[in-house]
Amino acid sequence: MTITQLEYIISIAKCGNFTLAAEECFVTQPTLSMQVQKLEEELGGQIFNRNTKPIQPTSLGEKIIPQAKKILEESLKIKDISDQVKGYVGGDFKLGIIPTVSPTLLPIFLNTFLKKYPNVSLKIEETTTKNFMEQILAGKLDAGIGATPLSNDKLIESALYYEPFVAYVPDHHHLSEEKQLDVADLESSKVLILEDGHCFRDQALSLCDIKSHSKNFEIKSGSFETMINLADEGLGMTLLPYLHSILLSKDKQSNIRYFQEPSPAREISLIHHKSFIKFPIINALFKTIESVIRGVIKFENVKIIPPK
C-alpha cells in the first residue's frame, strides 16, 4: 500500500471516472488502473464497482476511502513539519476570506506578500464566516480571515486589526450637519444594511438594537455600493467598514461621519485549526498584514461589536 495508491482512489471517488481521475493525477489511465488493482489485490476485495456510471465505491470502498483521506492529510503534514523546523516559507495555502473584508484588505497586503514569499502558492476563496469555519474544521481550507470572536474551541484566532464602523450620511439627511455621531443617533434613522448571511449585517443589527427598532431596517442589499446609492437617493443612511470608506471618491467621503469614542468596531482575525501545521506561512501572513495595516487604521479607542 502506497500514498500514491491512496491518492488515486480518492481521486476516483471524487471524479466517478477512471479517465478523469487519471487526468487529475497527471498519469495515464492504465497506470492508475494498475495501481488501484494492486491495492485491491492486497486488500482482498474491490474498492470500486466498475459497472456503475459514475463509478461508485463498494461497501469496502466506502469504509476505506474516508480513512485514505485521513492518512493522506496526515502524510502531507510531514513536509509541513520539516518546513517549520527549517523556517522555509512555501507550499500551497488555501485561505478563506469574508466578502466584506476581501475587497479592501487584499489590495493592501497581497502584492507585498507574494513578492516577499514567492514560494507560497496562495489560493484565496471569498466565502462567508460559517462556510470557512466548516471548511477549516474539515481540512479543506488552511485558514480564514474574518470577524471574531467566533467562540469555537477548535480554532485559534489571531487579531490582525480593529476596524471601526463609520456612517455614510447623505446630503439633506437630518444628521448631515453633525460632525460626529452617537450610536443612539441610529435609532432615529432608517439604516440600510446588508442582506442575510453577512456578519457585518449581524454586527450592524447589534449596534442598532434591531429588536427595538425593526422599522428602521426595511431595505437590504448585498453590496455597500448599492446601499450608498440608495442613501444618495434619499432612502436613508448606511454603515460601512472604515477601510471601505477611504476608497470612496472625495465627494462621497464628505458624507462620512465617525462615531464618538469609543468607536464601535469589528475585530478582524486570522483563523486556523488548533492542530494546524503550516505555521511559517501563517506567521508570514500575520506579520505582513499587521505591518501594512498599521499605517492605514490608526484608531485606538474602540469598542468591539462581536458577530452573532
Q: Is the CB of residue 243 less than 8 Å from the CB of residue 231?
A: no
Measured N-to-C along each axis, helices 59-86 and 3-15 cross at an angle, to the nearest 10 degrees, of 120
221: left (phi over 0), alpha (psi -120 to 50) or beta: beta
Nearest to residue 36, comparing CAs of 55, 54, 53? 55
* Terminal-residue alpha carbon distance, the chain: 47
- Structural domains of the chain, with CATH: 3-85 (1.10.10.10), 90-308 (3.40.190.290)
**Measured distance CA(266)–CA(302) in Å, rounded:** 9
Q: Is the CB of residue 30 less than 8 Å from the CB of residue 13?
A: no
* DSSP-assigned beta bridge partners for residue 159: 269
Q: Give the pLDDT score at 294.
A: 87
Per residue of the chain (308 residues), what is the pLDDT tens digit?
A: 899 999 999 999 999 999 999 999 999 999 999 999 999 999 999 999 998 889 999 999 999 999 998 888 777 777 767 666 666 788 889 999 999 899 999 999 999 999 999 999 999 999 988 899 999 998 889 999 999 999 899 999 999 999 999 999 999 888 988 999 988 887 767 788 776 555 676 676 676 654 434 444 445 556 888 889 988 988 888 889 999 999 999 999 999 999 999 999 999 999 999 877 788 899 999 999 999 998 898 887 889 888 87
Nearest to residue 117, comparing CAs of 280, 299, 303, 293? 280
Q: What is the pTM of this model?
A: 0.72
Q: Which residue has the cell 476563496?
A: 125
- Backbone φ, ψ for residue 260 (5° rounding): -65, 145
